[in-house]
Amino acid sequence: MNKQVNAQEKIGFVFINGAGLEKTIWHQLVSDLRHPYLLIDFPHRKGSDALRKELSLADYVNHMKSQIEGWAIQRFVIVAHSLGGALAFKLASELQGRVVGFVAIGAIIPKNGGSFLSTLPFPKRLLMSMILQKTGTKPPKSAILAGLCNDLSPEQSSRIVEGFVPESIRVYTDRIEAAAPAVLKLYVKLTKDKELSPSLQNKMILHFKPHSVQSLATGHLPMLSDPLGVKLLLQNFIEQVEL
């Protein structure tokens, strides 16, 4: 007779969104997942921009970690998107033994000791650094639409623009001391991404050293433009983890 698996013994998913976004971007994707899941919040999401201004990358990671420590599920796969990949890399290093898989979706993956900015080509890195210092971390509406929303519906695009939350500058500049976790890893490459180009994603793949790479013909937010495609990749991945 097969032993019935206790709910707390099941492998779950921890979803980490990218910069400026809310955990609600995952709602359609997780609506009928067969595994437990946790949607992570970044700190001071509902507060004023000033509350987030001085936060360090470590503050973000500690806030995320506290949510996971309060979750009953002991083993889980991290699913990280965009800038969330850098945060998740550090988080995984602090939760060794609980993290059993890592899926990076169009994600930023710095080298050990690097930062978000360090992953960019030098001219773009210099420009981005100046922009962050001068105007902060919220791009103009036109840039959000062009970079994040190129394959979304008008309704989806409007929600992204209206809900965009500026992050702390230090999330982009603080260095991350963490190596690639020794777990099963998948990188999901987004071939129509206008925010993180496919060539830059190739660089992230080299840093990540995944066991496999899968592609989706979407822009930067596939959980909105192709939730079924992402869900199928996650289901196939967790089946491999459970073997």
Is 4 part of any domain? no
**What pLDDT score does 172 carry?**
94
Cα(26)–Cα(37) distance, rounded to whole angstroms? 11
Domain that holds residue 156: 10-242
Instruction: Give the chain's domain count.
Output: 1
Give average pLDDT by consecutive 10-residue segment, the chain, 243 residues: 54 97 96 94 88 93 97 97 96 95 97 93 82 86 96 97 95 92 96 96 96 98 98 97 89
Instruction: Return d(Cα 176, Cα 158) in angstroms, integer.
Output: 33
- 32 part of a folded domain: yes
Q: Which residues pair with 80 in a beta bridge?
A: 16, 104
Per-residue pLDDT, 169? 94
Find where tokens 């809900």 sit: 163
pLDDT tens digits, one per residue of 151-201? 999 999 999 999 999 999 999 999 999 988 899 999 999 999 999 999 999
Q: What is the pLDDT of residue 121?
A: 85
Please report the pLDDT score of residue 99 as a whole number. 97
Cα 211 from chain centroid (whole Å)? 18
Q: Is residue 156 part of a domain?
A: yes
Residue 238 CA to residue 221 CA, distance in Å, equals 21
Kindly state whether residue 1 falls inside one of the protein's structural domains. no
Residue pair 225/218 in contact (Cβ under 8 Å)? The answer is yes
Q: Is residue 221 part of a domain?
A: yes
Domain harbouring 80, CATH code: 3.40.50.1820
Structure tokens at 129: 């650094």
**Predicted local distance difference test score (pLDDT) of residue 124:** 80
